[in-house]
Amino acid sequence: MTTSQERIIPTDLGNEMSRSYLEYAMSVIVGRALPDARDGLKPVHRRILYAMHELGLTPDRPFRKCARVVGEVLGKYHPHGDTAVYDALVRMAQDFSMRSPLINGHGNFGSVDNDPPAAMRYTECRLQALATEAMLRDIEAETVDFADNFDGSQQEPIVLPARVPQLLLNGSSGIAVGMATNIPPHNLGELIDGVIALIHNPEITDQQLIRHIPGPDFPTGGQILGTSAIKEAYTTGRGSITMRGVANIETIEHRGRPDREAIVITELPYQTNKAALIEKIAELVNDKRLEGIADIRDESDRDGMRVVIELKRDAYPRVVLNNLYKQTPLQANFGANMLALVNGEPQLLTLKQFLNVFLEFRIECITRRTQYELRKAEERDHILQGLLIALANLDRIIELIRHAADAPTARQELIAGYGLSEAQADAILQMQLRRLTALEAEKISQEHQELLAKIADLRDILQRRERILEIIETEATQLKTAFATPRRTVIEHAEGELDDTDLIANEKALILLTEQGYIKRMPVSTFEAQSRGTRGKAANKMKEDDVVEHFLTCCDHDSVLFFSDKGVVYCLKAYQIPTSSRTARGVPIVQMLPIPVDEKITSMVAVTEFSNDEYLVMLTKQAYIKKTQLSAFSNIRANGLIAISLEEGDQLRWVRRARIEDSIIIGSRQGMAIHFRADHDQLRPLGRATRGVRAMKLENGNEVISMDVLPSSIVANIAQVGEAEPELEAEETNSNGEELLAGNQGPWVLVVTNGGYGKRVPVSQFKLYNRATKGKIALKFRKQNDTLASLLIVNEDAELMMVTTRGIIIRQAVNAIPSQSQYATGVRVQRLDEDDAIAAVALVPPTNGEEEEAE
């Protein structure tokens, strides 16, 4: 029995697996998952656009069923599943997926809620004007190479002659084998500006290109936080860009019910599913991981997106919004991975490399188009030259043709007799009799002259690179004019870069905070100086049971530190506090800071610079005091920082800035004052999370009411306890019988009572004591129920502002208040209504020139 022997080839299984897998991997990388850096398209997208171009689905033609396009792509170019082709077609038509869609869709093409598109038999499509003008134009002019399709029956382009950097314009994402790409979309106008900048300066750097292309521009808008990640992605090819939706806090009116605060989302981060976001928020609320939300409604319509998150009445909008950013896709990261195919190989590209690859490809396209046009012009001119020869010898050529036996004989005789080519001879034989007229002969001659000029121009273009670059710039500028749209995504600059302080005048301002937590900022210029003893101006329109509790003067660029009774410090820039009119109530501070319900702001301090030479002196209700270096508070988290550790039942009440050479004066409700040095002997510096030491000895229900810091220049002239007191001139009285103290040029301790009386006492009358003693009398009260309201260090040329609990503010010169001894009762500094009282006193900050003089 004989059998045919089969040859068995021994093969190493490991090598075979490695080779086969590598072939598969490369086919996925090159033929499916990664875009070409030249036209920014994957094969499926390129085949869809080319098939639609062949079908004539231009913007001026009627829509055609998507099923027809998908069938064309499957049958001719793309032997894969119809779902893959249709999904790619749908994405190119979605304005929330593509920054500049390439296909115009008619019907249901899905939504930002991740709703699926209708079946391809229902939807229709055609090319967008941008696709025909910027992606497919000149494709017949031999600008790109063609290759056989999968069965060799058709030819397809291996790349489209793109006129814009489409890969950066619409971005791309794909997962290959062992690598992935994720390129964000950009703004068309900015990309063209970048290309033109590269043409003008080939040595331009990535950093310089960022001035023209500042960052991604997502189709859904939103915000990008910071520019460092953008720079990293553009210079290294990789970076994590933080995106954030746009949300505002609004007051929602309810008919018949009290108004409520609501967070309204109008823009989402790129590729965020709105329905999934709402579902995620609802899930967090149900799991009690997100507090303060009463209701969620999607009020989006054809006019735009609007997701309303209604808050509970006791919720803090800013806190809820911060939690939404932290726990939901309302804030997300775009992991840029700028990988694309260059010459068939995957490469990680920088911004300049992307534009360089595109520019070199564009130069190649223009060169090939020009060569094609030159060849066509030369071929046409060659025919015209033959026609001109025929017209010059018209009678003889007619005679020759009439006597020829047949067309081939006539062609050969024309070639032999007049030195014509076969093409010229054929053209003469095919020439119509009407072209023998004088007018037609003139047209042939004119066309010949025009072609000669065109040929010379085309040859000049091919010989000079600068002319090709001029053509690229002109065509790109025309596309920018026709198709560029304004930027949708706002790039928010991170800390340390250009921020609002560079755009805001550093004007003097005063900040008011009421007991019920309403805060507002007003220019100091709102209040002109008034005479002593007048009523002042209303500075706040408050609820009946609300009163002004804190009052601060500063400059708009200053950082304002807010200290709570729990010993926690928060920070805002002064300009971030909304400006309000005198009659406005202000905004709830809980909209500005994430303050818990059981916390209350008890002190505000303005800081221009967080210096190592300065300290914050903190005083509690139970008279514990400590000083901590100011620089320890330079980086305060959004949710606050512990400033002091408190005993059970104690509260942080006063915070002031001081230097080590300064001294501290503290006043009590019953009119006593203690004065001691701020040096390390009396008050050694402590860290943030410490309690402090005893500041003042309090008796008979007395309590601390005020604290201020005396500069070192004043302290040097003040006697210690036991030293001889400086001599002062005799006391005088004015026409009203008020005691005056002459012979002292200041500075003074300004003492003001709740009842509106005040005086200036020379600081020299307050000797330096040791800390934790009783102190001495600072003022005698005119009325039995009066108490000390404020104790402040002032100079004669300064101005001060006083605010009452009812929001009445008076601004007056310090020298309008007389100087008196420590035992005097003072004079009326502000006329008060019957149920009103002085709440706080603050100095008007000096201008820059005044600060220099003071130093």
Helix pair 351-392, 465-483: axis angle to 10 deg? 110
Q: CA distances (Å), 19 to each of 133, 341, 382, 404, in order?
A: 43, 21, 54, 68
Query: Residue type for 719, please?
Result: A
How far, in Å, CA of 97 to CA of 220, rounded? 8
Q: So which residues are the catalytic ones?
A: 122
Q: Is 395 helix (H, G, I), strand (E, B) or coil?
A: helix
Separation of CA 513 from chain center? 30
Region class of 60: left (phi > 0), else alpha (psi between -120 and 50), else beta? alpha
Residue 846 preceded by cis peptide, ω within 30: no
Tell me which residue of 504, 505, 508 sits closest to 522, measured CA to CA. 508
Phi/psi at 278 (nearest 5 deg)?
-65, -40
Helix pair 438-463, 465-483: axis angle to 10 deg? 100
- Could you tell me the two tokens for 650? 């104690």
Question: Is the Cα torsion angle 583, 588, 589, 592 positive or negative in sign?
Answer: negative
Q: Is 338 exposed, middle or buried (0-12, 13-18, 19+ CB in 10 A)?
A: buried
Q: Is 522 helix (H, G, I), strand (E, B) or coil?
A: strand
Question: Is the Cα torsion angle 125, 127, 130, 131 positive or negative in sign?
Answer: positive
Per-residue burial over 377-391, b if 16 or more Cβ lie within 10 Å, else e, is beeebebbbbbebbb
Strands 223-225 and 490-492: parallel
Tell me which residue of 265, 200, 162, 702 sits closest to 470, measured CA to CA. 200
For every residue of 104-124, which 3-state class applies, written as one string? EEECCCCCCCCCCCCCCCCCE
